[in-house]
Amino acid sequence: MRRKRSPAISTILIPTDFSDNSDRAISYATLLAKRFDAKIELIYVIETMAVSEFVPPESLYKVLRESSRTMLDGVLEKVRKKGVGVRSRLLEGLPYDEIVKMARRVHADIILWERMGAGACTVSLWGALPNTSFDWPRARFSQ
């Protein structure tokens, strides 16, 4: 009898917005990373307007960058304490564009986030099933 091979997952990309939903996705990704000995790429995107009549002053962006970096560093440390390799990046742009660009840049196998109120993580697989999203069932992994 042939044994089923586990999928090769080496990089998990997690876009966060610092919400409770993102925290749940990060917890789930941490379990996946431990299970598959994968690393986590954690990103936060400061959304910039593509076209805007009002351009906020640079001082507002500076405060936004500083507070976003502080929150991102806090999440980074929580994941590190769980023994998972993790790196964080603060980006600026349109979130959907920056997430896709980063997935390609870091060769992410999975983009994982939790949809608001969905109760299940949403996963986008890259590689064998490029750009495919589906609901990943809640599963328990031994730690």
Boundaries of domain holding 18: 11-136
Say which DSSP state 4 is in.
P
Is there a domain that residue 124 lies in?
yes
Whether 98 maps to a domain, the answer reads yes
Tens digits of per-residue pLDDT, 36-51? Answer: 999 999 999 998 865 4
Number of domains in the chain: 1
Rounded distance between C-alpha atoms, residue 12 and residue 9, angstroms: 7
pLDDT tens per residue, range 2-40: 555 556 789 999 999 998 888 988 998 999 999 999 999
Q: Is residue 6 included in any domain, yes or no?
A: no
The per-residue pLDDT for 21 is 86
- pLDDT for the residue 55: 64
Q: Is residue 62 part of a domain?
A: yes
DSSP symbol at 50:
S
CATH number of the domain to which 48 belongs:
3.40.50.620
